[in-house]
């Protein structure tokens, strides 16, 4: 039995402290195994390719997530750990300036060496050391804290493995599938409705129980005026209507930067939509398929989401409104696709909550230094590990980026009582 398998094996009834330690060890082992599962259907050639600067090769993701445990846990906190290879600190650092220099991001696909087999050996080396450290009596509290962060960090990269390989495979003219049985995001069950929420004066943000990234706090008071939010996400069928109405050709719906970009790049549809013999086709992780009128539209930029919302006579929700709706029992029970379909663009710029302070040192670079020129997405996606997202989670991307699993949910201000269409469909 391997160390990874033994970490998951049944154990005698533990004390509370032992139970927490065993839960952490099992969560870590499950996460490490899941990364291997995501990559196992890919060839070594698949895992080498970098199709654009934003995309990283699968092989690099497998190495970088391993480097994270080595760099931030094993090397500083394990007295007898021997690094696997001194060069890996340079090759697989992502953006941690405090750690040192690193290989340029746009050139990760040029790292033909080390080989995929060597990366697997690297993962096994680090996994043995981590299993021993986590299985030791009374592991250090900082080991526990950083391991939980490392688990969530690797889960983020598991989603990136999927979004990145979709982009890689999309450029192959044979339109190969990642997995032919990939289900994709849940379809809309019926016509969406406007869900009304009263004025709210209270708190949002993480409450301090369980894991959260630092950018989810501190919890703080907000005032959210009354508003309405759609019960379901905008679909591919809805998007066809936007396209047929000339949405990509009419500047009145677009922010100036978005309009300039859409024209220069000749956007006519979401990323991965292709025009066949008179019909649009969509490429996803299952391969190429027809447009599904009830499937939520994915792989759109913030610019496109915002333009669609304006065309539809609505707007994007703020992140405060989204969290308010997701946390309200009467609304959450009637809303579809909140956490497990697609990330949902909001109107909120990614910035610090009141009282936020980044941690000292390299780990403080995790979120805080990116709080500029990006927009917040809320919820989660079908590619997000099931135990990774939560209501307070703040994802963030630049407004032009399209390759992530991002869609949109409409919102609008509370209509005037004189508005005869106040209860219309989104």
Q: What pLDDT digit, counting tens, does each position of 227-262 carry?
A: 999 999 999 999 999 999 999 999 999 999 999 999
Residue 333 or residue 252, greater confidence: 252
pLDDT of residue 359: 84
**Confidence band, pLDDT 50/70/90 cuts, at residue 267:** very high
pTM score of the predicted model? 0.94
Contacts of residue 142, defined as CB under 8 A and 6 or more positions apart, other chains included, come to 77
Q: CA-CA distance, 420 to 424, in Å (whole number)?
A: 9
> Given a cut of 50, is residue 5 above it in pLDDT?
no
pLDDT of residue 420: 45
**Confidence band, pLDDT 50/70/90 cuts, at residue 423:** very low
3-state secondary structure of 378: strand
Q: CA-CA distance, 61 to 152, in Å (whole number)?
A: 14
Percent of the chain having pLDDT more than 90? Answer: 88
pLDDT of residue 314: 98
Q: Which helix (H) or strand (E) holds 90?
A: helix 88-91
pLDDT of residue 424: 54
Residue 33: both structure tokens together: 């195994």
3-state secondary structure of 341: strand
- Mean pLDDT to the nearest integer, 337-350: 97
Q: What is the pLDDT of residues 123-169, one digit of tens each?
A: 999 999 999 999 999 899 999 999 999 999 999 999 999 999 999 99
Average model confidence (pLDDT) for the chain? 94
Residue 18 or residue 90, greater confidence: 90
Q: Report the DSSP pairing between strands 227-230 and 220-224.
A: unpaired
- Mean pLDDT to the nearest integer, 329-347: 94
- Mean pLDDT to the nearest integer, 377-384: 98
Where do runs of H (alpha helix) occur along 265-337?
302-311, 319-327, 329-332
User: Is 198 exposed, middle or buried, given 0-12, 13-18 or 19+ CB atoms closer than 10 A?
Assistant: exposed
pLDDT of residue 104: 98
Which candidate, 189, 194, 410, places its Cα nearest to that of 294?
189
| Cα 228–chain centre separation | 25
pLDDT of residue 418: 52
pLDDT of residue 4: 41
């Amino acid at each position: 039995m391997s160390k990874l398998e033994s970490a998951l094996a049944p154990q005698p009834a533990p004390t509370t402290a032992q139970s927490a330690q065993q839960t952490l060890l099992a969560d870590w082992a499950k996460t490490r195994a899941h990364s291997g599962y995501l990559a196992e259907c890919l060839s070594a050639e698949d895992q080498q390719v970098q199709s654009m600067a934003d995309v990283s090769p699968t092989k690099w993701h497998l190495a970088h997530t391993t480097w994270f445990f080595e760099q931030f846990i094993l090397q500083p906190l394990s007295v007898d750990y021997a690094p696997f290879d001194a060069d890996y600190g340079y090759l697989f650092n992502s953006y941690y300036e405090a750690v040192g220099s690193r290989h340029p991001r746009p050139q990760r696909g040029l790292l033909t060496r080390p080989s995929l087999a060597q990366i697997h050996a690297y993962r096994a080396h680090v996994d043995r050391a981590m299993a021993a450290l986590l299985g030791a009596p009374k592991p250090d509290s900082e080991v526990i804290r950083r391991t939980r962060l490392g688990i969530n960090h690797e889960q983020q990269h598991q989603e990136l493995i999927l979004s990145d390989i979709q982009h890689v495979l999309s450029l192959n003219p044979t339109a190969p599938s990642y997995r032919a049985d990939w289900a994709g995001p849940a379809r809309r069950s019926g016509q969406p409705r406007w869900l009304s929420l009263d004025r709210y004066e209270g708190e949002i943000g993480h409450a301090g129980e369980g894991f959260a990234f630092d950018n989810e706090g501190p919890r703080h008071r907000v005032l959210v005026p009354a508003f309405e939010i759609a019960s379901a996400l905008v679909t591919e069928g809805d998007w066809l209507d936007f396209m047929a109405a000339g949405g990509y050709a009419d500047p009145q719906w677009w922010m100036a930067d978005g309009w300039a970009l859409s024209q220069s790049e000749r956007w006519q549809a979401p990323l991965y939509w292709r025009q066949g013999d008179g019909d649009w086709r969509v490429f996803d992780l299952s391969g190429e398929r027809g447009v599904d009128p009830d499937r939520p539209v994915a792989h759109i930029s913030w610019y496109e989401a915002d333009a669609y919302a304006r065309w539809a006579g609505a707007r994007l929700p703020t992140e405060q409104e989204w969290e308010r709706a997701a946390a309200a029992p009467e609304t959450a029970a009637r809303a579809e696709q909140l956490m497990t379909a697609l990330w949902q663009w909001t109107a909120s710029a990614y910035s610090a909550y009141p009282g936020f302070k980044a941690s000292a040192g390299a780990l403080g670079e995790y979120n805080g230094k990116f709080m500029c020129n990006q927009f917040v997405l809320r919820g989660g996606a079908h590619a997000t590990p099931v135990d990774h997202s939560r209501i307070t989670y703040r994802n963030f991307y630049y407004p032009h980026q399209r390759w992530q699993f991002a869609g949109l949910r409409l919102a609008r201000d509370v209509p005037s009582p004189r508005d005869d269409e106040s209860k219309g469909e989104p």
